[in-house]
């Protein structure tokens, strides 16, 4: 439809029809089996069901076709309904959770993964996904850290950008792509105390410098939507925040698409103490520029009246509705309302999608310890022990359209790889302690004591038989994701007990940790000869993990978040600000900025990860020691694989602005490149440093660079390397 026809359509619509384009209702209103996060079915009035512009949480060509046919027939202007779904790290074929994808440090793999997700979801009738989540996360207590790509704004920017490109392709009308939604705008990850939905207090400097960056970069790729966040920022709920939505999002970032609230967030402004009632909440959200009200019911109950009484102008309403109609038009829905649902087939998992997922898993694994080359595994007797050894639940709570039955467990992959006589499996213990609160409610394990006594005895037997034990431990999938904040970052006590029992057998121990958040691993690392983070790896989890265990692929993942010594360090991130009393390198000393009982930094820092091979960083150099605003400097290093195996390494560039009008972090990631090298091979890696990369939110409240000295590291992790120096004139 051309622009004129779209405007003519808008002009012909009644106020009620227009308002309803801004209303999103749960898919459960159309079909009972929808996946939704709250709300009971049957709360939405019939006229709303007939006119609501979009719905979420339902998929499947047959089911959606039925709904769409009825809807279009009954709609006065036959405007199609838009179907949205949380396709977060997979639809049919499930990729590693976003934090695992961050660990790949490989935007290309992430882009291809998003493209695959789009193709699968589109073939199931989905028009839009609520992804990427570009929230900066520095707090492991916040369970949604699993849905992020980590603590660094540059890494997050690259990953969010790659996801938008992968989901949307070049043209949304292409039936293989779907609309992306950058969320949760803004600073949802900064929830105080790591408690979900909690308030955030952030200076404009911190907000702009760190938290807003990845949203801003992703928005440059024209995502169809942006989603508001649940939290308030400096006292104003994001969903009613004019400064965030109007000034920054629309004016500064130039976002032209649809702004959707998070689930119920418009109505939650009443609980926040910011709106009096539903009508007031609808008014405040409209004034802030929220186009679609996701499921709070405030727009459907009050917006028409707000327009009729002049509190919301017709122009404001029309602008919002036009953005929604434009999105439908961009998706080609007016010409092609049955896109993805006119064939009954639906998506299938293919060899290709499995191969992509397996590669992504292998690239996401982070090897933290490998004492005396414990890994790769030898062809000897190996026992796979622990609640994750043969567990199909390898995907997160945000991959509900992927089916467990398609998942390959570690044990299933081992059966394919080893002589069955040479391996054993044992559950070892229950996943959780006796009573644990999870996102899915309280989990009580019946017969906990009896079961665990039995499991542990079996496991000890298996360990005694084996030469090497592969401990498959971690957090349950329902312990990370939405509403899973925790004040302990330890493994469940029963799993630690199991590890201690197995240690007593004196066998070599490889510990695999399946998790959606950083954990405290001090005790685990002491008990293990090798330690590897496997995240929540998805459908091909078993195969990807096995490829690395066997040395078919050398591990190349890097931590996208700091792993702390103790939860008491949280929030924790590598790009800290210097203090006036720095902690001496030799350890804590009186009256310096130190903990009396812990290091300041992480147990395993951002950017850290080992390989089976060795990489030497030879002669890091800068092309010049001085640079004017219009010039660039190239930072070079030659990387040589001096080990015996092919492997990939992420070369990282960090910069520090030494003196400036507003203090700058001790170092910040500026760029990174992942390269692959055969044994003995070398490659020169170059990074261009330009003036724009040196800009920051100055004391004058402007994005500018300032003349002076800069330090540069070209290195292997955020804690590695010797600084080089240059001056900006």
Q: Which is nearer to ligand BGC, 130 or 726 (CB)?
A: 130
SS3 assignment, position 336: coil
Helix 541-549 × helix 351-364 angle, to 10°: 50
Determine the 3-state secondary structure of 633 from DSSP: strand
The nearest distance, CB 107 to ligand BGC, in angstroms, is: 22
Rounded Cα distance between 338 and 327, Å, is 16
Identify the active-site residue in 106, 124, 152, 262. Answer: 262
Q: Which is nearer to ligand BGC, 17 or 86 (CB)?
A: 86
Residue 59 CB, nearest distance to ligand BGC (Å)?
A: 13
Q: How far is the CB of 189 from ligand BGC (least distance, A)?
A: 12
Per-residue string for binding with ligand BGC, 445-474, x by CB under 6 A? ------------------------------
Give the C-alpha separation, 559 to 538, whole Å: 18
Residue 86 binds ligand BGC, judged by CB under 6 A = yes
Q: Which two tokens stand for residue 442?
A: 């309280």
State the minimum distance, in angstroms, from the CB of residue 439 to ligand BGC.
11
155 or 226: CB nearest ligand BGC: 226
Q: Which of 15, 37, 234, 505: binder of ligand BGC (CB under 6 A)?
A: 37
Handedness of CA 196, 441, 361, 180 (dihedral sign): negative
- Nearest residue (CB) to ligand BGC, 241 versus 652: 241
b/e per residue 167-187 (b: at least 16 CB within 10 A): bbbeebeeeebbbbbbbbbbb
Residue number with CB closer to ligand BGC (17 or 482):
482
Contact code string over 260-279 relative to ligand BGC, x by CB under 6 A: --xx----------------
CA distance linking residue 332 with residue 178, whole number of Å: 11
Smallest distance from ligand BGC to CB 26, Å: 9
The CA distances from residue 59 to 28, 34, 176, 538, in Å, are: 11, 8, 15, 20
Tell the burial category of 142 from Cβ atoms under 10 Å away from its Cβ (0-12, 13-18, 19+): buried
Give the whole-angstrom CA distance, residue 114 versus residue 136.
Answer: 20
Question: Smallest distance from the beta carbon of 264 to ligand BGC, in angstroms?
Answer: 8
Q: Among this protein's residues, is 86 annotated catalytic?
A: no
Question: Using an 8 Å Cβ cutoff, are 539 and 354 in contact?
Answer: yes
Q: Is the peptide bond before 112 cis (omega within 30 degrees of 0)?
A: no
Q: Which is nearer to ligand BGC, 263 or 535 (CB)?
A: 263
Q: Does 604 bind ligand BGC (CB under 6 A)?
A: no
Cis peptide before 619 (omega within 30 of 0): no
CB of 253 to ligand BGC, least distance (A): 20
Cβ at position 228, least distance to ligand BGC in Å: 10
Question: HEC profile for 172-190?
Answer: CCCCCCCECEEEEECCHHH
Q: Residue 130 Cβ, how far from ligand BGC at the closest point, in Å?
A: 3
Residue 327 or 689: which CB sits closer to ligand BGC? 327
Cβ contact 107:160 at 8 Å? no
CB-nearer residue toward ligand BGC: 294 or 521: 294
Minimum distance of ligand BGC from residue 363's CB (angstroms): 25
**Direct distance between the N- and C-terminal alpha carbons of the chain, in angstroms, rounded to an integer:** 53
> CB-based contacts of 497: which residues, under 8 Å, 6+ apart?
429, 456
Tell me whether residue 227 or residue 349 sits nearer to ligand BGC (CB atom). Answer: 227
Question: By three-state DSSP, how is residue 578 classified?
Answer: coil
Which of 40/170 has CB closer to ligand BGC? Answer: 40
In whole angstroms, give the CA distance from residue 518 to residue 409: 22
- Rg of the chain over CA atoms, in angstroms? 26
Which of 83, 130 has the CB closer to ligand BGC? Answer: 130
Nearer to ligand BGC, 397 or 495 (CB): 397
Contact call for residues 178 and 327 (beta carbons, < 8 A): no
Q: Segment 116-145, which members bind ligand BGC (CB under 6 A)?
A: 130
196 lines the binding site for ligand BGC (CB under 6 A): no
Minimum Å distance from CB 451 to ligand BGC? 34
Q: Which residue is nearest to ligand BGC (CB)?
A: 130
Residue among 118, 521, 538, 529 nearest 364 (CA):
538
Q: Which two tokens stand for residue 128?
A: 């839009």
Question: Residue 307 Cβ, how far from ligand BGC at the closest point, in Å?
Answer: 26
Quickly list H helices, 27-181: 46-51, 61-74, 98-103, 107-122, 153-168
**Residues between 409 and 428 that touch ligand BGC (CB under 6 A):** none
Pick one of 369, 482, 547, 671: the residue that binds ligand BGC (CB under 6 A). 482
* DSSP codes, 667-721: -EEEEEEEEEE-TT-EEEEEEEE-GGGG-EE-TTSSEE--SEEEEEEEESSTT-S
Report how far residue 293's alpha carbon sits from residue 262's, in angstroms, rounded to the nearest whole number. 8
The dihedral sign for the CA sequence 524, 527, 532, 538:
negative
Residues that contact ligand BGC, how many (by CB under 6 A)? 8
Instruction: Please report how the helices 107-122 and 351-364 are oriented relative to each other, as an axis angle in degrees rounded to 10.
Output: 150
Residues marked as catalytic: 262
Return residues touching ligand BGC (CB under 6 A). Answer: 37, 56, 86, 130, 183, 262-263, 482
């Amino acid at each position: 439809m051309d622009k004129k026809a779209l405007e003519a359509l808008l002009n012909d619509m009644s106020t009620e029809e227009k308002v309803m384009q801004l209303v999103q209702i749960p898919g459960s209103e159309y079909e009972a089996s929808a996946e939704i996060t709250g709300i009971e079915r049957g709360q939405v009035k019939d006229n709303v069901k007939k006119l609501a512009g979009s719905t979420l949480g339902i998929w499947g060509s047959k089911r959606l076709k039925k709904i769409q046919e009825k809807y279009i027939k009954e709609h006065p202007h036959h405007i199609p309904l838009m179907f949205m779904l949380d396709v977060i790290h997979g639809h049919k074929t499930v990729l590693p959770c976003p934090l695992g994808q961050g660990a790949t440090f490989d935007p290309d793999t992430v882009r291809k993964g998003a493209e695959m997700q789009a193709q699968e979801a589109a073939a199931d009738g989905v028009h839009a996904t609520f992804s990427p989540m570009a929230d900066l996360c520095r707090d492991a207590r916040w369970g949604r850290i699993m849905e992020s790509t980590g603590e660094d704004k540059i890494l997050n920017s690259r990953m969010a950008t790659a996801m938008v490109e992968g989901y949307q392709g070049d043209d949304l009308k292409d039936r293989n792509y779907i609309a992306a939604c950058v969320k949760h705008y803004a600073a949802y990850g900064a929830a105080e105390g790591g408690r979900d939905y909690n308030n955030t207090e952030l200076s404009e400097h911190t907000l702009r410098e760190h938290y807003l960056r990845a949203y801003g970069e992703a928005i440059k790729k024209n995502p169809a939507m942006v989603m508001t966040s649940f939290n308030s920022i400096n006292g104003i709920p994001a969903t009613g925040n004019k400064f965030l939505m109007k000034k920054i999002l629309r004016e500064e970032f130039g976002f032209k698409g649809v702004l959707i609230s998070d689930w119920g967030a418009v109505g939650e402004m009443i609980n926040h103490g910011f709106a009096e009632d539903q009508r007031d909440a609808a008014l405040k959200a409209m004034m802030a520029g929220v186009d679609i009200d996701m499921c709070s019911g405030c727009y459907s109950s009050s917006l028409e009246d707000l327009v009729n009484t002049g509190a919301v102008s017709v122009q404001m309403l029309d602008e919002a509705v036009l953005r929604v109609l434009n999105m439908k038009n961009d998706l080609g829905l007016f010409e092609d309302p049955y896109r993805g649902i006119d064939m009954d087939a639906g998506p299938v998992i293919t060899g290709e999608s499995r191969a992509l997922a397996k590669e992504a898993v292998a690239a996401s694994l982070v090897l933290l310890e490998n004492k005396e080359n414990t890994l790769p595994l030898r062809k000897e007797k190996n026992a796979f022990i622990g609640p994750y050894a043969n567990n199909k639940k390898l995907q997160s709570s945000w991959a509900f359209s992927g089916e467990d039955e398609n998942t390959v467990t570690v044990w299933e992959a081992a059966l394919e790889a080893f002589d069955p006589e040479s391996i054993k499996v044992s559950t070892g213990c229950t996943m959780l302690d006796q009573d644990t609160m999870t996102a899915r409610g309280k989990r009580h394990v019946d017969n906990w004591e009896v079961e665990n006594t039995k499991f542990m005895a079996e496991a000890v037997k298996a360990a005694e038989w084996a030469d090497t034990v592969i401990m498959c431990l971690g957090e349950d999938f329902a312990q990370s994701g939405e509403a899973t904040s925790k004040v302990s970052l330890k493994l469940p006590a029963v799993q630690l007990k199991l590890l201690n029992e197995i240690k007593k057998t004196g066998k070599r121990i490889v510990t695999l940790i399946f998790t959606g958040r950083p954990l405290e691993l001090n005790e685990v690392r002491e008990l293990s000869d090798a330690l590897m983070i496997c995240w929540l790896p998805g459908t091909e989890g078993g195969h990807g993990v096995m490829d690395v265990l066997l040395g078919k692929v050398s591990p190349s993942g890097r931590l996208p978040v700091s792993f702390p010594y103790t939860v008491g360090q949280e929030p924790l991130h590598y790009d800290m600000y210097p203090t006036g009393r720095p902690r001496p390198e030799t350890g804590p000393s009186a009256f310096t900025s130190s903990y009396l009982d812990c290091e300041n930094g992480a147990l395993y820092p951002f950017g850290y990860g080992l390989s089976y091979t060795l990489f030497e960083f030879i002669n890091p150099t800068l092309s010049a020691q001085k640079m004017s605003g219009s010039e660039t400097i190239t930072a070079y290093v030659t990387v040589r694989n001096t080990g015996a195996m092919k492997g990939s390494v992420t070369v990282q560039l960090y910069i520090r602005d030494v003196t400036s009008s507003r203090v700058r972090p001790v170092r910040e990631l500026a760029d990174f490149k992942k390269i692959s090298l055969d044994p003995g091979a070398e490659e020169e890696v170059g990074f261009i440093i330009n003036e724009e990369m040196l800009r920051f939110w100055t004391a004058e409240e402007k994005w500018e660079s300032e003349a002076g000295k800069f330090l540069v590291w070209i290195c292997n992790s955020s804690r590695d390397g010797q600084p080089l120096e240059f001056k900006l004139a």
